[in-house]
Structure 1
Amino acid sequence: MASFSDAPNEVIDQILSDVPTSDLPSVCLVNKALRRSAEPFLYSAVSFQWDFQSVPRVAPLLLTLLRRPELLDYLETVTLQGHLFNERTPPPPIDTANIPFDEFIAAIEKTGVAFASMWVEKLRSPRTCMYAMVALLITQLSNTTHLTVGHPYINGQSLVPKVLKAKIFGQLPAFERLRELRYLKRCDISSFENNLVFSDTINLFYLPTVTHIEVSMTNPRDFQWPAGEPNLDHLTSLKIGWLAEPFLARIFKRTRNLRSLHWTWEHHGDWVGPWETTILDFENIMDALRFLKGSLEKLTLEMYLGLDDELADNLKMTVEGNLQGLRGFPRITHLDVPLTSRLLGISDPLPLADYAPDSVEVLTLSGSALIDDECPHEWDGWVERGEFEDLVPLIKDLRNDRPSKLPRLQRVEIIDDHGGNIRREIGGQIEALDLGFKVQII
């Protein structure tokens, strides 16, 4: 009887592609032939979650990769995520009993980087060995195409940023195939110093093959490119937060082919320093966006005010201008921006068609902007009944404006980010409208 491993490779691959990742190690133990077939699936995507209940098993994977570097050719996606550890709630110490220190130290010293001794010191400590192992793992990822580095591995820790910088600027083997990078540093409410990551994150824009970057980066006192202005023609998608419009304009100026932008405008109050913005000025936002007129197809603009647990009373912000300049962006097909007229407290809302380009096919509206107190966030956790009634005439006006101003409009999406209140208040009215385009409350 012929064995399964004698089947054509395409048949084996089709079957193995449906095998759960957790079962693939067992398949590898059947025989050498199946091991060769299963390993590309086993190592194609690696994901680690670090929290109080689970500790990433980085050490066994790292040891295998150091001993069998040919497996790195399969490692396309690496995801490092976890809990939002900070100084108030640090990660628990790691059990180092089974960590092969000799092999890991040899690999660290082989890199020849100036910070190798600090790296080894962190490896030996139960409190910091996870950072050292993850940093060593990242040094091996020359062929990886998708990399996510989450908050617990970089918050208040310099080692992983140092390794990334060394790979970017040539002290370590480069990322040869990296296409998507997510550097997910979150705001640390226990230590604002841990949030000052501009000097680490600006380096990410020197990756020559990356087409998508997701990053949150604080505002610098003085914006300086660390190695001259980079060529960002390869960057087509950017999701970025916190960085204010004057600094972001410096990046936009280099991104001539950026098609998708998701920008989270953040305001954290005066206490974070004089270089933080205290005015939400839509004219300044439009000035920064002007560099993208010829390429931008999808724009999402979000507003985020204040740190977690920070009282809204501590925030003072002025709102100015509007987004009517977006009418001059001829390629935008998907638009998701705040209802700027409501932010300015205008009693008669500005028609949506007055700032949506005529190229728009999908228009997304967020309930979070439907407030009257010049603050695009619902602080009280509840909305008075009738608050969302203003959406109905805005949607009706789109029906009249569509032929002349929005001829390509196919769908309006309303984000119900108030616990279902939007659907309960106006869902029936919206469904009863005969508009000529779809309206979805999602």
Structure 2
Amino acid sequence: MSSPIEGCPNEILYSILQHLTQTDFLNTCLVSHRLRQVAEPLLYCNIRLVWDASRVPPITQLLRTILDRPEIAIHVKCLDLDGQFILNPPNRRHRFLAKPFIVNDLGKTVEAVEAMKVPYCDDWIEGLRRSSMDAFVALLISQLPSLIRLYLDKNFTYEFRFIGMMLRSSLCEPSSQNSKLPDFRHLRDVSALTFGAETRIYEPEAYRNTLDVLPLFYLPSAQRISVSIDNPNIFKRRNHWDIPSPISIPDALTWPAQHAPEPICIESLDLEMIREGPLGKLLSVTKNLKMLHWNWYHMANGGDQFTTPLINLDQISADLAHVRHTLTDLTITATCEYDEIDYPPLQTHGSLSSIVDFEMLKRLQIPLAFLLGFPSETTRRLGDTLPRNIETLCITEDLSERDENYWGEADVFEAIESWISD
């Protein structure tokens, strides 16, 4: 005998069921076919899987379900793959699901990869056989055409090769040959955090994600992107601690397609790892950017020509100039990681005085060193740097632990008092 609730219109059922938990959705699907029609889209709408030291996420089970019933994939709007191991140094367990598979055991996963007809098909299948998390996540994402939000935490992006290749095929190399790949036209919010700074001490020549992450900027509807982007690793210094001339920084960042992206919808960027120079190449295409959070980062064993102890404020000014007419909210943080070896102290070059003319900027968070340099350097005035129309200002002490002669409280108060009196 059916329950009276089953006679309600779908809209009424949906308004009731949407307040339930994931477990309730699953149980409701088992009650009757009528309730399953309404509850199943809610069950698969928001998927969150966690990978930590005690459990491996059921990626393979989810994939088999979606490949067996492709209509389910349309219901998946948000995919959150969460978790980060706390291991030091990182090891290879980040990269794999469990024991390797036999190809015959993979069933429809192999067929799905072959159907895409991508040139790296054999490598992708081999990645599946080896239980590479990267290979399985790439296949899972490729089956979800209705995604609105994608969150990948550090465990899932320790390597980003297959995900990056799949995104390049879909977004940067569109052709009839790749017609089985979605265009991700609905994807608006993307977060891909990586093991960046943590791995560079131990693996300075490790995998770099630059080419594989840049396709995210080709997403047609992306509004918010939060991503760690390695600096291009094309040139090398003789020593990691050599400080290059501040006059010019090589711009070695190249786009993965024949043309630069035109991400007109991007309004918010949260960037880590990438340094000044390549930063400007990214900002040059974000014509409507309103919010930028950028973490300036230096690691002594960074392994590329960009991660030097020189804070090139002139270059940062040039990079930010690309968004001066749209940016309303700017947050700059700074991180410096040294190992046991004694490396040269941080230095600044030039100034950020050009941001005075950022008339749209209302909120600014920035380290004191970016405004005034270090005490051993030429003293600057706050009023020469701060935007005229600023409404909210947060000056931080980032990098103070790396300089014994960092600005004292009295010096900071004097600088702020002088600015306010003007």
TM class by smaller structure: 0.7 to 0.9
**What pairs up with 1:244-259 in 2 under 5 angstroms?**
244-259=275-290
1:35 positional shift: 1.2
1:259 positional shift: 0.9
1:312 positional shift: 7.0
Q: Distance in 2 between matches of 1:353 and 1:12?
A: 60
Which residue type is aligned with residue 248 of structure 1?
L
Paired position in structure 2 for 1:200: 212
Q: Aligned match of 2:146 in 131, 134, 143? A: 143
* Unpaired runs of at least 5, structure 2: 235-251
SS at match of 1:357: coil
1:94 aligned onto 2:93: no
Name the CA shift for 1:30/1:214 in 2 (closer, same or farther; >3 Å).
same
SS at match of 2:305: coil
1:293 positional shift: 1.1
1:400 positional shift: 4.1
263-272 or 323-332: bigger deviation: 263-272
1:320 positional shift: 2.5
1:322 aligned onto 2:351: yes
Residues 47 and 78 of structure 1 are in contact (CA less than 8 Å); yes or no, is this contact kept in structure 2? yes
Paired position in structure 2 for 1:178: 187
Residues 191-245 of structure 1: CA deviation (Å, up to 9, x unaligned): 2233422221222222222122222222223222232222232222111122222
Residues 134-188 of structure 1: CA deviation (Å, up to 9, x unaligned): 2211111221011122332332452222222222233322212111121212212
Paired position in structure 2 for 1:107: 112
Q: Distance in 1 between matches of 2:42 and 2:222?
A: 24
Residues 307-326 of structure 1: CA deviation (Å, up to 9, x unaligned): 6xx23733543223333322
Q: Aligned match of 1:333 in 362, 381, 386? A: 362
Paired position in structure 1 for 2:225: 213
Q: Distance in 2 between matches of 1:116 and 1:195?
A: 20
1:296 positional shift: 0.5
Q: Distance in 1 between matches of 2:268 and 2:134?
A: 29
1:279 positional shift: 1.0
SS at match of 1:234: coil
Q: Distance in 1 between matches of 2:405 and 2:93?
A: 33
Which residue type is aligned with residue 356 of structure 1?
L
1:328 positional shift: 0.6
Residues 291-345 of structure 1: CA deviation (Å, up to 9, x unaligned): 11111011011111126xx237335432233333222100111111111355421
222-231 or 26-35: bigger deviation: 222-231
Paired position in structure 1 for 2:77: 76
Q: Distance in 2 between matches of 1:111 and 1:150?
A: 26
SS at match of 2:398: helix
Q: Distance in 2 between matches of 1:271 and 1:181?
A: 26
Q: Distance in 1 between matches of 2:353 and 2:22?
A: 50
* TM-score computed with the length of structure 1 as normaliser: 0.78
Which residue type is aligned with residue 231 of structure 2?
N
1:397 positional shift: 5.6
Name the CA shift for 1:114/1:374 in 2 (closer, same or farther; >3 Å).
farther
391-400 or 263-272: bigger deviation: 391-400
Paired position in structure 2 for 1:130: 133
Q: Distance in 2 between matches of 1:149 and 1:4?
A: 38
SS at match of 2:389: coil
1:268 positional shift: 1.8
Q: Distance in 2 between matches of 1:353 and 1:54?
A: 53
Q: Distance in 1 between matches of 2:36 and 2:387?
A: 55
Name the CA shift for 1:389/1:75 in 2 (closer, same or farther; >3 Å).
farther
1:374 positional shift: 7.9
Q: Distance in 1 between matches of 2:284 and 2:277?
A: 11
1:392 positional shift: 5.1
Q: Distance in 2 between matches of 1:70 and 1:3?
A: 28
Q: Distance in 2 between matches of 1:372 and 1:76?
A: 44
Name the CA shift for 1:366/1:21 in 2 (closer, same or farther; >3 Å).
farther
Residues 108-135 of structure 1: CA deviation (Å, up to 9, x unaligned): 222222222222222223xx24333222
Name the CA shift for 1:93/1:328 in 2 (closer, same or farther; >3 Å).
closer
Paired position in structure 2 for 1:278: 309
1:269 positional shift: 2.4
Residues 345 and 374 of structure 1 are in contact (CA less than 8 Å); yes or no, is this contact kept in structure 2? no
Residues 155 and 194 of structure 1 are in contact (CA less than 8 Å); yes or no, is this contact kept in structure 2? no
Matched positions, count = 388
Q: Aligned match of 1:191 in 193, 203, 208? A: 203
Structure possessing the higher relative contact order (Cα contacts under 8 Å, 6 or more residues apart) = 2
* Unpaired runs of at least 5, structure 1: 377-385, 402-442
Q: Distance in 2 between matches of 1:328 and 1:76?
A: 41
SS at match of 1:314: coil
Q: Distance in 2 between matches of 1:61 and 1:316?
A: 50
Q: Distance in 2 between matches of 1:305 and 1:257?
A: 30
Name the CA shift for 1:320/1:164 in 2 (closer, same or farther; >3 Å).
same
Which residue type is aligned with residue 249 of structure 1?
G
Residues 268 and 315 of structure 1 are in contact (CA less than 8 Å); yes or no, is this contact kept in structure 2? no
What value does the CA root-mean-square deviation take over the aligned residues?
3.1
SS at match of 2:190: strand
Which residue type is aligned with residue 224 of structure 1?
T
SS at match of 1:34: helix
Name the CA shift for 1:82/1:10 in 2 (closer, same or farther; >3 Å).
same
Which residue type is aligned with residue 36 of structure 2?
R
Which residue type is aligned with residue 124 of structure 1?
R
Paired position in structure 2 for 1:373: 403
Name the CA shift for 1:10/1:353 in 2 (closer, same or farther; >3 Å).
farther
Name the CA shift for 1:360/1:2 in 2 (closer, same or farther; >3 Å).
same
Q: Aligned match of 2:320 in 269, 273, 289? A: 289
SS at match of 2:195: coil
Q: Distance in 2 between matches of 1:342 and 1:106?
A: 59
Name the CA shift for 1:329/1:271 in 2 (closer, same or farther; >3 Å).
closer
Name the CA shift for 1:252/1:273 in 2 (closer, same or farther; >3 Å).
closer
Q: Distance in 1 between matches of 2:228 and 2:344?
A: 21
